[in-house]
A and B are shown apart, each in its own frame.
Chain A
Amino acid sequence: MSMETLAITVLWIFLYGYIIVASIDFGAGFFSFFSKITKRDHIVNGIIERYLSPVWEVTNVFLIFFMVGLIGFFPDTAYYYGTALLVPGSIFLVLQSLRGSFYAFAHYGARNSTAYLFVYGVTGLFIPASLSTILTISEGGYIEQTAGGEVILNMGKLLTSSYSWSVVALALVSVLYISASFLTFYADRAQDTAAVKLLRSFAIGWSLPTIFASFLVFLSIHRHNPEHFDKMMDVSWLFLLSFASFCGALALQLKRRNYGWAFVLVMLQFAFAFFGYGIAHLPYLLYPYVTITDSINSPAMGQALVIGLIAGLFLLIPSLILLLKLFLFDAKYVQGRPIQK
């Protein structure tokens, strides 16, 4: 495998990892807020807090890792996206800053305030929406380069495009669906029947909008970037597997059992679709200006980055497994009982 294919594959895996963990986090924020205003917060808050407390900072790093890696391996992306995304990127940063710092503040008394939960819940929906526009922009058609070489983002076109809105819709409903599926599983492990019941209803409720929005995006790519759509058809089997996983997850949830497997299937549903989309997107990182062959041109740096990447993964993967073992697969912790080892 060439260096750039390896790099984009690893980075894509990290982005996928971010989508899963961040969705759980963003959705949980929204559910906290929603349960509060419907006076059901006592049912789910314990579950949500026990899961999120030890992992919130890690979630953030997945994204930073993807961005730094992308710029490192493909410096041209920094130039194009950096210039074009000044405003949306800055808005994302402000939302992300509010949310991240609020999470830490919340441990010390702010959690019960509705205003706090409002900011926390609403940023959880705005952040995925603002991030998903970057994927939209990568399809091309929204960034223009003037004769003088200046890069300009056509905001008006972005805001009036049906494709960009269908991506935003997909991001929002997917966040809620992934999060509810995971939290149902987590509540089930904690043997918290009331929380399972509520979260399961959220999961099932958001499943159909998710699959509907997915089809919408699929079809609007056809209109917006036919070349990409044709390449997606070449790997259509991945999208079929994605749909099959979706059906499996929904069936398990309706039958009220194996919530763990249901969540695995949800993860697979998104994995197949996300990688299908990603494979078809190649070789473009920003259609039609940046392709993966515009990567770094110093072999020594490429080699050093790949070595760094592999060494880093050897450090990260065991650490992440340890984190999961301590907080996700430790029955006593999940149930909120004291532990002594």
Chain B
Amino acid sequence: MELDNTMLARILTSLTLGFHIIFAALGVGIPIIISIAEWLGIRKKDPMYTLMARRWVKGFTVTVAVGVVTGTCIGLQLSLLWPSFMKVAGEAIALPLFLETFAFFFEAIFLGIYLYTWDRFKNPYIHWLFSIPVVIGSTASAFFIMTVNAFMNAPQGFTLVDGSIVDVQPLAAMFNPATPTKAGHMILSSYATSAFVLAAIAAWKLLRGNGHEYHRKALNFTVALALLFSFGTALYGDFAGKYLAKYQPAKLAAAEWHFETKPQSPLILGGVLDPETMEVRNALKLPYALSILATGSPNGEVMGLDQIPRELWPPLFIHYLFDGMVAIGMYMLVVPILYFIWRRWKKGQVPRAILHAIFWGAPLAILAIELGWIFSEIGRQPWILVGYMKTQHAATTADNVGEMLVMFSLLYAFLAIVSSIVLKRMFKNKPVELELK
């Protein structure tokens, strides 16, 4: 690996995005959960749910702050590290970037109002109403930014003349073939991850022997949402597979080590690839499964890497990332089902094993988001704008990218440590029992 400007710019961009995405996913998912909890609290006249909303929103402010500042970083790094890309594609992605800022603006204004008006209105629904624009704003900004990334994967809605993009059709560029699956999969996985993170807190409390009704209710509520959202994520994952087969076969073929174009293709789970002979060892092969995943029919033909010139292959290690993401996705679906089966048929205490499984669901869910993103981004290499512009032609020509990489690494390490300490201290000093009085 040569550490030229392009490589350094890639590392710095992935570092920023990899760090930002944790907070961004929580920023998209937590508001909707808080909003539902507050609404349930008002409707059922149950102070427990209201307290959930109040406690979660406190922690949420810290994650939002880190999300905002790292989001600012990636927003500007797009121009600082990839000026040649912005010169070519800037015009095509201007509208969604702009709309994303509006959605963010909208969210920021109403989050401020929501946070500081808890006891201000006699009618509790008025305060609850302020959570709606926060939910809309956060989900809309995720949607708009996903259309930008989708455009990089499936560019359309413009004409290329002498290396510059002209005659842009903004809506066609925004609503490209990759948009529905990318946005749907990302938004739902953010919701599911947030539900798991909040469920993990409740599971942790119960595991530590704090059997307060608040924690049991919180667990039940968040696991129910986790089940719903994980199911939606899996469904959109399947759509995303079909999209890849149709529009970005290189990415799917590399993810599945599918070298030969043929019908009735098997799905390869796990395994090790011999890079010399291209032979796959120790893998589990599910007959027909790739054809079903890609085309919806066991006889469907799936394009293999043999149809793509060798120099345009994505790196083949993305197979491991893809498998990791899918495995965790399955875990996120199975654990809530087990939890509810237990609650439904074996009334009484949920076994510690399930609580442990829920607890570990939170870090795993975040890991799955990272794996999914790295898979998706590495999977379109060598392109930055698939079919139009290669990554190596897009990076900055300025010096000092290496120094900037060191500086930002230190910044993110610092932010990670301080925000963890703050979050931990915040809840340790104020247990639920104290707040309920």
Decide if B80 is an interface residue (CB 8 Å cutoff).
yes
Contacts known (A304-B170, A308-B99, A320-B109); A107 close to B61, Cβ less than 8 A? yes
Residues of A contacting B64 with CB < 8 Å? Answer: 57, 104
Decide if A135 is an interface residue (CB 8 Å cutoff).
no
* Chain B residue nearest in CB terms to A86: B398
Which residues of B, 334-374, contact A by the 8 Å Cβ criterion?
A: none
B411 contacts A98, CB within 8 Å?
Answer: yes
Indicate the size class of the contact surface on chain A.
35 or more
Q: Is chain B's binding surface mostly helix, strand, loop or mixed?
A: helix
Residues of A contacting B117 with CB < 8 Å? Answer: 326
A341 contacts B122, CB within 8 Å?
Answer: yes
Decide if B105 is an interface residue (CB 8 Å cutoff).
yes
Residues of A contacting B317 with CB < 8 Å? Answer: none
Name the contact of A86 in the complex, choosing from B69, B171, B404, B425 (C-beta under 8 A): B404
Name the contact of B69 in the complex, choosing from A87, A101, A320 (C-beta under 8 A): A101
Contacts known (A94-B411, A101-B69, A300-B169); A87 close to B400, Cβ less than 8 A? yes
B108 contacts A58, CB within 8 Å?
Answer: yes
A296 CA / B91 CA spacing, docked (Å): 6
B91 contacts A301, CB within 8 Å?
Answer: yes
Residues of A contacting B398 with CB < 8 Å? Answer: 83-84, 86-87, 151-153
A64 contacts B101, CB within 8 Å?
Answer: yes
Name the contact of A105 in the complex, choosing from B62, B95, B97 (C-beta under 8 A): B62
Name the contact of A109 in the complex, choosing from B61, B112, B425 (C-beta under 8 A): B425
B99 contacts A312, CB within 8 Å?
Answer: yes
A157 CA / B264 CA spacing, docked (Å): 66
Decide if A89 is an interface residue (CB 8 Å cutoff).
yes
Fill in one digit per residue for A48-74: 1 if any B CB lies within 8 Å of its CB, else 0: 000001111110110011011101110
Which residues of A, 103-162, contact B by the 8 Å Cβ criterion?
A: 103-105, 107-110, 150-153
* Chain A residue nearest in CB terms to B79: A82
Give the B-binding residues of A (Cβ under 8 A).
53-58, 60-61, 64-65, 67-69, 71-73, 75-76, 78-87, 89-91, 93-94, 96-98, 100-101, 103-105, 107-110, 150-153, 296-298, 300-301, 304-305, 308-309, 312, 315-316, 319-320, 322-323, 326-327, 338-341
Given contacts A65-B102, A109-B422, A304-B95, could you give 8 more A-B pairs where the C-beta distance is less than 8 Å? A61-B104, A72-B94, A90-B408, A97-B70, A100-B65, A305-B170, A326-B116, A341-B121
- 13 A-B residue pairs with Cβ-Cβ distance under 8 Å, sorted by A, are A58-B112, A61-B104, A68-B98, A79-B83, A79-B84, A151-B398, A152-B398, A298-B166, A308-B95, A316-B105, A340-B121, A341-B120, A341-B121
